[in-house]
Amino acid sequence: MPLQIIRNDITKMKVDAIVNAANNSLLGGGGVDGAIHRAAGKELLAECRTLGGCDTGKAKITRGYGLDAKYVIHTVGPIYEDGKQGEHELLESCYRESLALAKEYKCESVAFPLISAGVYGYPKAQAFRVAVDTVTEFLLENDMLVYIVLFGKEAFMVSEKLFADITEYIDDRYVERHTDKKLEKIRKCAVLGSVAKRANIESAICEASSAPEDLSSRLSQIDESFSQMLLRKIDERGITDSECYKRANIDRKLFSKIRKDVNYKPSKPTVIAFAIALKLTLAETEEMLKKAGFALSHSNKFDIIIEYFISKGIFDIFEINEVLFAFDQSLLGA
Residues that bind ligand AR6 (CB under 6 A): 9-11, 21-23, 29-33, 35, 77, 113-120, 149, 151, 154
d(CA 19, CA 112) in angstroms, rounded, equals 5
Find the helix or strand (DSSP H, E) in which 167 lies.
helix 160-170
Q: What is the closest distance, in whole angstroms, from the C-beta atom of residue 55 to ligand AR6 in the complex?
A: 14
Closest alpha carbon to 153 in 13, 8, 4, 36 = 8
Instruction: Tell me how far apart the alpha carbons of residues 166 and 307 are, in angstroms, rounded to a whole number.
Output: 10
Quick check: 21 and 30 in contact, CB under 8 A? no
Residues in Cβ contact with 40 at an 8 Å cutoff, skipping those fewer than 6 apart: 11, 64, 65, 66, 67, 72
The residue among 135 and 276 lying less far from ligand AR6, judged by its C-beta, is: 135
- Least separation in angstroms between residue 98's CB and ligand AR6 is 12
Determine phi and psi for 230, rounding to 5 degrees: -60, -50
145, containing H or E segment: strand 145-150
* Cβ proximity to ligand AR6, 70 vs 252, nearer residue: 70
Give which of 48, 47, 56 is closest to 23, Cα–Cα: 56
| Shortest CB 26 distance to ligand AR6, Å | 9
- Hey, how many other C-beta atoms are within 10 angstroms of the C-beta on 145? 18
Query: Considering beta carbons, is residue 78 or 333 the nearer one to ligand AR6?
Result: 78
Q: Which residues contact 280 (CB under 8 A, 6 or more apart)?
A: 233, 288, 310
In whole angstroms, the minimum distance from the beta carbon of 2 to ligand AR6 comes to 19
Q: How far is the CB of 318 from ligand AR6 (least distance, A)?
A: 18
Instruction: For ligand AR6, give the closer residue by CB, 156 or 169.
Output: 156
CB atoms inside a 10 Å sphere around CB 110: 25
Nearer to ligand AR6, 21 or 258 (CB): 21
- Minimum CB–partner distance for residue 303 and ligand AR6 (Å): 31
Q: Is the Cβ of residue 42 or residue 257 nearer to ligand AR6 in the bound state?
A: 42
Q: How far apart are CA 332 and CA 334, in angstroms?
A: 7
Cβ of residue 57: shortest distance to ligand AR6, in angstroms?
A: 12
Query: Would you say the C-alpha torsion 321, 140, 59, 126 has a positive or negative sign?
Result: negative
Judged by beta carbon, residue 28 or residue 314, the one nearer ligand AR6 is 28
